[in-house]
Amino acid sequence: MRKPKHSPGLKLMIMGICLIGIFLFSLLLGRYAVPFADVLRILASVVIPVTKTWSNLAENMVLLVRVPRICTAVLVGASLSVAGASYQCIFSNPMAAPDLLGASTSAGFGAALAILLGCSSFVVTGWAFTASMLCLLLVLFIARLGKGSVTLNLILAGIMISSLFQAGTSYLKLIADPNNTLPEITYWLMGSLSGMTMKELGYVWIPITIGMVPIFMVRWQMNLLTIDDMEARTMGVSTSRIRVLVIICSTLLTAAAVSVSGIIGWVGLVIPHIARRISGNDCRYLIPASALLGGSFLLLVDDLARNLYSTELPLGIITAVIGAPFFIWLMIRERIS
């Protein structure tokens, strides 16, 4: 068989260019029209002095409304996809998704509790994140107590804790005021990026960076987690250490993403699969490909969410409506070929 036509590096570069293209395109979208030339000038004015030829409203619209939202969408999409791809490696299971260990359901509980207590949206984010991290600690602790395979214990502990938090959320919805807090909780659980400001973006990038950097550093070694553990250890890889590191980092990514955006399913499952098809299973390329594709995908989905109707559509609904049929199509195509 011949060498593959395109090198993985080239493919990553094309994905990066696509992301930048979608980013610029997204800045144009919205009810208040800002011409493309103005968008570019406004962006440039942040770093270099440019003679001002645009209105203050246009500047605020681009820099204070669209940029934070678009950047958050990219970060959330990239985080969920990288977390999904990492979970798939750690658990040697192509069906693993970022919410496997309960990171999303617990964040949902934290958010619901904060909404019920009448907290501001910023505090809600903090509570969601805290609940998610607490859930991770619980899962790691319980998995240690169990006998036998650590991986299996983690998954079982994740399912248990997740269902407990799910029950908690249901209870909170039951006692929530159906006129104001209940719809707010329900809407949060369906995922949305509306009302993102520089303040949220200013915080969310921190945990995302802390989670992303170690995963990128050990991404070659992550390949060896997908083969037999004993084989990997004879190749000099401390599998248990890397596994715990990657679990913590990818849960951190999921928690950070979900706490700002609410629960968005499918991205963490579908995007790594598409990334695998394009750049192969080698995590050296799979992880960056997942990040780039996930960022682009969620950004497009968010563009739909804010422009399709006069009211915003929840992201979770759009990702499911796009994700599920796409997944089925992939399965069928694979069978035919």
Amino acid at 115: I
Contact 224, 72 (CB under 8 A): no
Contact 315, 323 (CB under 8 A): no
Dist CA 99 CA 85 (whole Å): 12
**Residues present in the chain in total:** 337
| Shortest distance (Å) from residue 91 CB to other proteins | 9
| Shortest distance (Å) from residue 9 CB to other proteins | 12
Contact 283, 219 (CB under 8 A): yes
Nearest CB to other proteins, comparing residues 35 and 94: 94
Nearest CB to other proteins, comparing residues 92 and 180: 92
Contact 155, 91 (CB under 8 A): yes
Dist CA 179 CA 237 (whole Å): 55
Paired tokens of 8: 């993985």
| Shortest distance (Å) from residue 241 CB to other proteins | 10
| Shortest distance (Å) from residue 94 CB to other proteins | 6
> CB neighbours (10 Å) of residue 308?
11
Contact set with other proteins (CB under 8 A): 1-4, 92-94, 217-221, 223-224, 226-228, 230-238, 276, 280-282, 284
Nearest CB to other proteins, comparing residues 178 and 236: 236
Nearest CB to other proteins, comparing residues 96 and 318: 96
Secondary structure (3-state) at 31? coil
Nearest CB to other proteins, comparing residues 126 and 280: 280
Report which of 254, 198, 243 is spatially closest to residue 79, judged by C-alpha positions: 254
Nearest CB to other proteins, comparing residues 173 and 284: 284
Q: What angle do CA 37, 39, 45 make, to 5 degrees?
A: 100
Residue 246 CA: distances (Å) to CA of 126, 229, 230, 260, 290: 23, 15, 19, 22, 15
| Shortest distance (Å) from residue 307 CB to other proteins | 37
Residue 252 makes CB contacts below 8 A (sequence gap 6+) with 133, 207, 210, 211
| Shortest distance (Å) from residue 233 CB to other proteins | 6
Paired tokens of 72: 């958050």
Nearest CB to other proteins, comparing residues 108 and 268: 268
| Shortest distance (Å) from residue 15 CB to other proteins | 19
Chain-centre distance for alpha carbon 65: 21
Nearest CB to other proteins, comparing residues 1 and 48: 1
| Shortest distance (Å) from residue 234 CB to other proteins | 4
Residue-by-residue DSSP string for 86-135: HHHHHTT-TT--TTTTSHHHHHHHHHHHHHHTT--HHHHHHHHHHHHHHH
